[in-house]
Amino acid sequence: MSDKEAEKEVEGTSPDKQLEYYRVRFREDGQMFTASSQLEKPVRGDIVMVKTDHGLEPAAVSGPAPICGCKAKAKVNYEILRRAGDDELERYTQLPDQENRAFDICQRLIVRHKLEMSLVRVERFFNGSKMIFYFTADNRVDFRELVKDLVQEFRTRVEMRQVGVRHETKMIGGMGTCGRELCCSSFIKKFDSVSIKMAKEQDLPLNPSKISGLCNRLLCCLTYEYDTYRQQRKGMPKPGKRIRIDGRTYKVRRQNPLQQSILVQTDSGDETVLQAAEWQNYEIIRVDKGPKKEKKNRE
Q: Which residues pair with 229 in a beta bridge?
A: none
Q: pLDDT for 271-297, tens place per residue?
A: 999 999 889 888 888 766 555 554 444
Shared-domain flag, residues 131 and 180: no
pLDDT score of 229: 94
pLDDT score of 173: 87
Domain residues for 218?
Answer: 169-227
In a domain, residue 235? The reply is no
| Res 77 pLDDT > 90 | no
Contacts of 263 (CB under 8 A, 6+ apart): 252, 253, 254, 255, 256, 271, 272, 273
> What's the mean pLDDT in 47-54?
93
| Res 139 pLDDT > 70 | yes
- Name the domain count of the chain: 4
Looking at per-residue pLDDT, the higher value among 292 and 204 belongs to 204
> What's the mean pLDDT in 177-181?
89
In a domain, residue 198? The reply is yes
CB–CB of 278/245 below 8 Å?
Answer: yes
Assign 107 a pLDDT band (cuts: 50, 70, 90): very high
Shared-domain flag, residues 187 and 129: no
What angle in degrees, to the nearest 10, is found between the helix axes of 86-112 and 144-154?
Answer: 140
Shared-domain flag, residues 189 and 159: no
Which residue in 176, 182, 211 sits closest to 196, CA to CA? 211
Shared-domain flag, residues 136 and 190: no
| Res 9 pLDDT > 50 | no
In a domain, residue 89? The reply is no
